[in-house]
Structures are given as structure tokens and as C-alpha cells.
């Protein structure tokens, strides 16, 4: 693992789970980790209920834009974490792949998004520990 590991979060629309995970990792990992997110079929915008749930914990993702998953994004990442993108994520030997099974916040209200958000925060904190990076908060 390089001194600054690169982590890519992937879900279908890059509008919910992967955006929350990337935002938490960026907040908690700071400049000690490189963070990216993408989707196999990206939406036009971040899910408003997801943005609202993240704003409740002081993280503004309302200006984020869903991005398309590229082979290059996977190739240049050390850790690839999928969240329901199925077989759409390319595989490269030597990469660390994790699959986080989480409910999809699509079409859900903020009350349903909160437990997903909190589960993602917990997993991100666990990932930081595995990477040997203490959280900034």
C-alpha cells in the first residue's frame, strides 16, 4: 500500500451510497487518503435526501456531481469498494476489492437514509483502521 492509499467507491448511480462514503472518507481521512467515487450508470444529480442526511452531520455534498465509472479509475485505485454495482466493475489483479452490502437510498426519504448514512460512517471508520489511518475527528 502506498503512503497515501487511493480508495474508489462504486455504486450504480453515484448519487447516494458512494457519495456518502467518499464524503466521510475525505472528512475523516483528510490528506492521508485519496478518495474517488463513481457509478456504473450515474444519475444526473446527488439524491436530495442523501444530501440532506449528510448536511445533518455537517457534510455538504449538494454540489457533488455523479461520475461515470472508468477502467482507469479502477486501475489507479488501491482499494475498490462496490455497493451494489454488480459485475459492472472491472477487475484488476493486485487490487483490494470489498463489497459493502447496504440498502439503496434511491427513492427513500431522509428518515430511511439516516441508518444507511450511519452504517457507512461506521464502515469508513473501520476501513481507516485497516489502512492504519486514524480519523481526523
Q: Which sequence positions are flagged as catalytic?
A: 11, 85, 89
Element (H, E) at 82: strand 79-82
**Distance from C-alpha of 19 to C-alpha of 92, rounded to nearest angstrom:** 23
- Specify whether the CB–CB gap between 59 and 14 falls below 8 A: no
C-alpha 69/C-alpha 11 separation (Å) is: 9
**24, β-bridge pairs:** none
* 80: phi then psi, degrees, rounded to nearest 5: -120, 120
- Strand order across the 6-11 sheet: 34-39, 6-11, 79-82, 96-99
Amino acid at each position: 500500500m502506498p503512503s497515501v492509499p487511493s480508495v474508489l467507491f462504486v455504486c450504480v448511480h453515484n448519487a447516494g451510497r458512494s457519495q456518502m462514503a467518499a464524503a466521510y472518507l475525505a472528512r475523516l481521512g483528510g490528506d492521508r487518503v485519496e478518495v474517488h467515487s463513481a457509478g456504473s450508470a450515474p444519475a444526473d444529480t446527488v439524491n436530495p435526501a442523501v444530501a440532506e442526511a449528510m448536511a445533518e452531520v455537517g457534510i455538504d455534498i449538494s454540489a457533488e456531481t455523479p461520475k461515470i465509472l472508468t477502467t482507469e479509475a479502477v486501475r489507479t485505485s488501491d482499494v475498490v469498494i462496490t455497493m451494489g454495482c454488480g459485475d459492472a466493475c472491472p477487475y484488476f489483479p493486485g487490487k483490494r476489492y470489498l463489497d459493502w452490502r447496504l440498502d439503496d437510498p434511491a427513492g427513500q426519504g431522509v428518515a430511511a437514509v439516516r441508518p444507511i448514512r450511519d452504517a457507512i460512517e461506521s464502515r469508513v471508520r473501520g476501513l481507516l483502521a485497516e489502512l492504519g489511518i486514524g480519523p481526523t475527528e
